[in-house]
Structure 1
Amino acid sequence: MAVRVGEERFSELVKEALSELPPDLAKYLRGLEIQVEDYPDDEVMLELGLKPPNYPFGLYEGPSILETDNPRDFPGRIVLFRRPLEEWCQTEEELRDQIRRTVFHELAHRFGFSDEEMFDELRAGAGFPWKEEERHKEATRYLNQAEHDLRAAELLLEKGFFDWALEIALTSAWRSLFAFLVKIGENPEAIAEEDIPKLWARAARRDPRFLRLRELLRLDRITVDMGEPGLPPPKERVGEKRAQEALCAAKKTFALARGDGNGEI
């Protein structure tokens, strides 16, 4: 269900996003105009090569900081498209986050970055909404791999490779959480770099049953890298009990993500 906040509240959310800018960046905003429009016009859609319902979230018009003689005061305009942003989000919290990402993305253009040059946090925020069919295909793809990972973790556990079993089980849990979130409407690009704690928190907000899988947070803190010099290697640090716990948690996560009742196994 799309969220609707009205023009006044939307403008407040935009101001909140701008207020989060570090002072070192905010000083370059002189001359910048920020406007809110319902939808992009036909000319913008044609220029971007888009057709409804694939609308952009925002647009920057003007020179970059690399093209001006006075980097602290030069003209430019950011246009945010309210309806596409509202239609993409299901809660005001999500809308606030997406506005923030889009504002920062368009500011990155002002600072001279292309889409390809932006780091993930900025690039992910201003993509175009995935169609429902595309999201479901992507969720299914991740769930299929998560199920395969579970079988691999079981075999590794049986053979006594406990460190590998734990790592593969947690990989399965990550993919299951990702699949669940994508299936219910999250932007795959926006969450692709998030770790298990962040994905779990998102999933728990959407479905409280994931709160029962808080053990994932503890298990995710178990590292399987070599660590500091002299530290026992992972094969000695990770025992059978921890590997079994990780596999059990991963199975429950997969079951919930797939929609199998309460995730019991």
Structure 2
Amino acid sequence: MTSAPAPDWASLPAPSLDDFETLAEKAFGRLPAEFRALCEGVVIKVEDFPDDETLDEMQCETEFDLLGLFRGTGLAQAGATPQTGQFPNMVWLYRRPILDYWAAHEETLGHLVTHVLVHEIGHHFGLSDDDMYGIEAAAE
């Protein structure tokens, strides 16, 4: 079995926000179909960092402490029917903290994006860690 040639790291730029959106879309597309069907209406956003209000609310010491965040009313709290005037449920992926974590660990960037995405969507459904790891494994 031959391995793929090593990337030319000297000429590769850091993944952009658009690159991360593409990674998130591909990660979402690999999730089990029944799980994706339950995610109708969840909006996935990619930002470089959480805003100051979020950092304060989450009691983060630095802007690198938060890899992702679910905002909204989870199905476990309110059922599947959105209230009038309610913002859609949203998942944020934070590019720079994810890249920082990736640089310090042995995971691929695609695996890490999938992990954060599943974990944050899992909050929407009130899933256990074991449930989320099962969904992640099915996406791999």
Secondary structure of 2:62 counterpart: coil
Unaligned runs of 5+ in 1: 126-265
Aligned-partner residue type, residue 13 of structure 1: L
Q: Give the paired residue count.
A: 116
Between structures 1 and 2, the one with greater helix share: 1
What's the counterpart of residue 58 of structure 2? 48
Query: Residues 88 and 33 from structure 1, CA distance in 2 versus in 1: closer, same or farther, beyond 3 angstroms?
Result: same
Q: Do the aligned partners of 1:40 and 1:55 also contact (CA within 8 Å) in 2?
A: no
Per-residue CA distance 1:7-60 (angstroms, 9 max, x = gap): 222111111110111111111122111111110111111111111154210000
Distance 2:79 2:95 in 1: 30
2:108 to 94, 105, 117: 94
2:89 to 76, 100, 115: 76
TM-score normalised per structure 2: 0.71
Q: Is it true that 1:112 corresponds to 2:126 in the alignment?
A: yes
Distance 1:35 1:94 in 2: 21
Over the matched positions of the two proteins, sequence identity in percent amounts to 28
Distance 1:102 1:20 in 2: 14
Unaligned runs of 5+ in 2: 1-8
Distance 2:51 2:97 in 1: 13
Q: Do the aligned partners of 2:67 and 2:94 also contact (CA within 8 Å) in 1?
A: yes
Indicate the structure (1 or 2) with the bigger Cα radius of gyration.
1
Per-residue CA distance 1:112-137 (angstroms, 9 max, x = gap): 13xxx422864xx9xxxxxxxxxxxx
Distance 1:68 1:75 in 2: 14
Per-residue CA distance 1:192-212 (angstroms, 9 max, x = gap): xxxxxxxxxxxxxxxxxxxxx
Aligned-partner residue type, residue 23 of structure 1: A
Distance 2:33 2:98 in 1: 27
CA drift of 1:65 comes to 1.6
Aligned-partner residue type, residue 82 of structure 1: R
Query: What is the root-mean-square deviation in Å for CA atoms of aligned residues?
Result: 2.8
